């Protein structure tokens, strides 16, 4: 073990869990990282970004520049609220080790990934296997909420500072049931929207004096779901639209409402962009008889783009490393929701490789200690071989 203890992922993970870093509160969570990284030769920079309708966010960028190939690790230290702490078997921000598990908020999602990568760097550096290439870390404290002043701006800052990367790993939980059984090479995009139909309010006994927007809203809902958006691609399932609510705010049965709103979300594959999907939605709306109503459509928030990383030798190297460490032959997945990998994909190829995430966001969140050690082994072997220029 190093004198700083930075090569022990479990102890570092305990230090991170002990910081109640619920988005966007830092709660001291960067301090254990700085204490581990600086003695290893990393130059650590803290950056605070704000504006764009969101709260200020603290971010951390660390780099150990030795030229050569350039590897980026990205992750987040913020966690979701624990909910009712009385429902936990113990304090969610006091790490508890029992029966081969480590309990605490953020144990699975994803302070364990951060701890494993830092420990892997320590082991690689101490073995003299990190002198032929560059390692960097981009850590945000805003992945679980707005994700406005986090990784997106951190990557833009890094590029402006002249940093470029050949490959990136995001340490999000990517394994399905056992460590290493899956890595994510892409993610679907996400677009949410609201369609508002305005008619004329009136008494139900005098429908000729009103104009009910609900039949139009129902027709729009039908039009949006009438035909599949697509049939999928080689690496992605079919894009899917779900109507999530139709609201009129009408508590009584003798009033025709004047306005109603339909909300939906689309998870889309690499056949689409937010712009082309907006056009597709507009065409579906235009095909509906307005019946004299006014229709408005707005995209809610900032859509997430889909991405697919190139199936390069670096991806195959990672798969080979996983097979060597765990015996698993990882599948290449694009399932799940969105992650900060979508921001990194604009700058370099990126995959997600992490632990099993079955307990993330749950009460009594935990991670298997053996998996934390296993992930550290995967990362350490990959860092050494990647920086040496190895291929699978």
- Residue-wise pLDDT for 326-356, tens only, equals 999 999 999 888 889 999 999 999 999 999 9
Note whether residue 280 is domain-resident: yes
Task: Compute CA distances 360 → 208, 221, 252, 366, 367, whole Å.
Answer: 54, 33, 41, 8, 9
* pLDDT confidence band for 89 (50 / 70 / 90): very high
Cα–Cα distance measured from residue 28 to residue 199, given in angstroms and rounded to the nearest whole number: 53
Same domain, 269 and 223: yes
Note whether residue 392 is domain-resident: no
Which of residues 287, 304, 321 is at a domain's end?
304
- pLDDT (mean) for 78-86: 96
Looking at the predicted structure, is the pLDDT value of residue 392 above 70?
no
Q: Are 237 and 269 in contact (CB under 8 A)?
A: yes
* pLDDT confidence band for 2 (50 / 70 / 90): low
Same domain, 201 and 53: no
Which of residues 278, 304, 330 is at a domain's end?
304
Looking at the predicted structure, is the pLDDT value of residue 272 above 70?
yes
Return the CATH number at 233.
3.30.70.360
Q: What is the pLDDT of residue 47?
A: 98
Looking at the predicted structure, is the pLDDT value of residue 106 above 80?
yes
- pLDDT (mean) for 177-192: 95
Note whether residue 4 is domain-resident: no
Structure tokens at 224: 């949006």
Domains: count for the chain: 2
Q: What is the pLDDT of residue 391?
A: 66
Mean residue pLDDT across the chain: 95
Note whether residue 1 is domain-resident: no
* pLDDT confidence band for 279 (50 / 70 / 90): very high
Which residues sit opposite 184 in a β-bridge?
A: 333, 352
Note whether residue 354 is domain-resident: yes
Note whether residue 139 is domain-resident: yes
Same domain, 117 and 218: no
Q: What is the pLDDT of residue 3?
A: 47
Same domain, 338 and 291: no
Same domain, 18 and 164: yes
Same domain, 130 and 243: no
Nearest to 194 by CA among 35, 300, 319, 310: 300
Same domain, 14 and 137: yes
Note whether residue 66 is domain-resident: yes
Same domain, 19 and 142: yes
Q: What is the pLDDT of residue 302?
A: 85
Percentage of the chain beyond pLDDT 90 is: 94
Structure tokens at 53: 């309708």
Model confidence pLDDT, tens digit, residues 143-176: 999 999 999 999 999 999 999 999 999 999 999 9
Return the CATH number at 325.
3.40.630.10
Q: What is the pLDDT of residue 338?
A: 82
Note whether residue 123 is domain-resident: yes
Same domain, 227 and 287: yes
Model confidence pLDDT, tens digit, residues 20-57: 999 999 999 999 999 999 999 999 999 999 999 999 99
Strand, helix or coil for residue 134: strand
Looking at the predicted structure, is the pLDDT value of residue 109 above 50?
yes
* pLDDT confidence band for 266 (50 / 70 / 90): very high
Cα–Cα distance measured from residue 302 to residue 152, given in angstroms and rounded to the nearest whole number: 12
Q: Which helix (H) or strand (E) holds 187?
A: strand 186-187
Same domain, 145 and 291: no
Q: What's the domain range around 257? A: 189-304
List, by residue number, the catalytic residues. Answer: 78, 143
Model confidence pLDDT, tens digit, residues 218-263: 999 999 999 999 999 999 999 999 999 999 999 999 999 999 999 9
Cα–Cα distance measured from residue 43 to residue 292, given in angstroms and rounded to the nearest whole number: 63
Same domain, 89 and 157: yes
Neighbours of 32 (CB within 10 A): 24
Q: What is the pLDDT of residue 218?
A: 96
């Amino acid at each position: 073990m190093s004198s700083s203890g930075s090569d022990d992922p479990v102890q570092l993970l305990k230090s991170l869990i002990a910081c109640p870093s619920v988005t966007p509160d830092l709660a001291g969570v960067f301090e254990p990282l700085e204490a581990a990284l600086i003695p290893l030769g990393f130059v650590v920079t803290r950056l605070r970004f704000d504006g764009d309708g969101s709260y200020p966010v603290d971010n951390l960028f660390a780099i150990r520049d030795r030229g050569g190939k350039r590897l980026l690790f990205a992750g987040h230290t913020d966690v979701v609220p624990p909910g009712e702490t009385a429902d936990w078997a113990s304090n969610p921000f006091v790490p508890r080790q029992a029966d081969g598990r480590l309990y605490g908020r953020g144990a699975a999602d994803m302070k364990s990934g951060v701890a494993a990568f830092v420990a892997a760097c320590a082991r690689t550096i101490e073995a003299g296997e990190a002198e032929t290439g560059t390692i960097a870390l981009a850590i945000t404290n805003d992945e679980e909420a707005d994700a406005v002043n986090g990784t997106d701006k951190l990557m833009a800052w890094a590029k402006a500072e002249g940093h470029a990367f050949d490959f990136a790993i995001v340490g999000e939980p990517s394994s399905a049931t056992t460590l290493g059984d899956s890595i994510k090479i892409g993610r679907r995009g996400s677009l949410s929207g609201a369609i508002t139909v305005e008619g004329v309010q009136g008494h139900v006994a005098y429908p000729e004096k009103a104009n009910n927007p609900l039949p139009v809203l129902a027709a729009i809902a039908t039009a949006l779901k009438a035909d599949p958006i697509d049939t999928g691609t080689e690496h992605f399932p079919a894009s899917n639209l779900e109507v999530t609510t139709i609201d009129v705010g009408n508590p009584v049965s003798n009033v025709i409402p004047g306005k109603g709103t339909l909300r939906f979300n689309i998870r889309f594959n690499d056949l689409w962009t937010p712009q082309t999907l907006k056009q597709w939605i507009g065409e579906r709306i235009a095909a509906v008889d307005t019946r004299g109503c006014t229709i408005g459509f707005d995209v809610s928030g900032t859509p997430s783009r889909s991405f697919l990383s190139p199936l390069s030798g670096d991806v195959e190297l990672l798969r080979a490393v996983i097979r060597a460490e765990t015996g698993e032959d990882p599948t290449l997945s694009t399932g799940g929701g969105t992650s900060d990998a979508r921001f990194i994909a604009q700058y370099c190829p990126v995959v997600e490789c992490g632990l099993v995430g079955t307990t993330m966001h749950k009460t009594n969140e935990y991670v298997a200690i053996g998996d934390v050690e296993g992930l550290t082994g995967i990362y350490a072997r990959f860092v050494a071989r990647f920086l040496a220029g190895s291929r699978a």
